[in-house]
């Protein structure tokens, strides 16, 4: 009985930690429809030899259709390879429990925008909008992420998802492995 009670309190504690208030960067409802997007959250950061790359996620709900918005930012003084999204692009999320969730890209080609900053760095910003497949929400709510694979037009890249990291960009502590556990409820109907 004591173990059952302890298990119950542990489960209650975990579920309370997993729930949080949703923070939206946009939340609009008008005569045309509704649109809400969570604030961007850093999932990956790589800094090596004067080159940096960042991946941010945000969740959106447009007239009842949930999507994952992905923003890739690459920064370098050297050549930056363009990784393009197209109708065949996919995003694969492997969970700690072994499940693999596939998301399909919106049928819109995007190779990013190249911008030069005042310090002489080239910055490529590429965005993609991915659709969730049926029945993926429950799996994403119940298991942390371990690996992410992005299939671009001409390339495939894998990312190990960390449990926690402190960003060199803004010194914020991120917990990317639990991103969906904490945020997927923000776009559920």
pLDDT at 4: 40
Question: Over 90: is that where the pLDDT of 170 sits?
Answer: yes
Kindly report, residue by residue over 154-168, the tens digit of the pLDDT: 999 999 999 999 999
pLDDT at 3: 44
pLDDT at 10: 42
Kindly report, residue by residue over 125-140, the tens digit of the pLDDT: 999 999 998 889 999 9
List the one residue out of 88, 84, 74 whose CA is nearest residue 110. Answer: 84
pLDDT at 31: 87
Q: What is the 3-state secondary structure (H, E, C) of the chain?
A: CHHHHHHHHHHHHHHHHHCCCCCEEEEEECCCCEEEEECCEEEEEEEECCEEEEEEEEEEEECCEEEEEEEEEEEECCCCCCCCECCCCEEEEEECCCCEEEEEECCCCECCEEEECCCCCEEEEEEEEEEECCCHHHHHHHCCEEEEEEECCCCEEEEECCCCEECCCCCCEECHHHHHHHHHHHHCC
Kindly report, residue by residue over 16-60, the tens digit of the pLDDT: 444 458 999 999 988 888 899 999 999 999 999 889 999 999 999
Output the average pLDDT for the chain.
Answer: 89
Q: Is the dihedral of CA 20, 25, 31, 34 positive or negative?
A: negative
Please state, in angstroms and rounded to a whole number, the distance separating the CA atoms of residues 124 and 76: 9
């Amino acid at each position: 009985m004591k173990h059952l009670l302890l298990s119950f309190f542990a489960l209650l504690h975990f579920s309370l930690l997993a729930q949080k208030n949703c923070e939206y960067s946009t939340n609009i409802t008008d005569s045309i429809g509704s649109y809400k997007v969570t604030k961007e959250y850093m999932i990956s950061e790589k800094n090596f030899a004067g080159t940096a790359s960042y991946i941010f996620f945000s969740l959106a709900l447009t007239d009842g259709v949930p999507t994952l918005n992905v923003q890739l930012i690459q920064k370098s003084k050297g050549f930056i390879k363009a990784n393009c999204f197209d109708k065949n692009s996919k995003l694969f999320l492997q969970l700690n429990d072994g499940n693999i969730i596939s998301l399909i890209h919106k049928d819109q080609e995007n190779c990013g925008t190249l911008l030069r900053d005042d310090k002489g760095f080239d910055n490529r910003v590429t965005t993609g909008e991915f659709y969730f497949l049926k029945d993926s929400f429950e799996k994403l709510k119940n298991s942390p992420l371990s690996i992410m694979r992005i299939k671009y037009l001409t390339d495939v890249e894998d990312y190990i998802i960390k449990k926690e990291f402190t960003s060199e960009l803004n010194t914020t502590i991120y917990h990317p492995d639990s991103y969906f556990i904490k945020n997927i409820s923000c776009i559920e109907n």
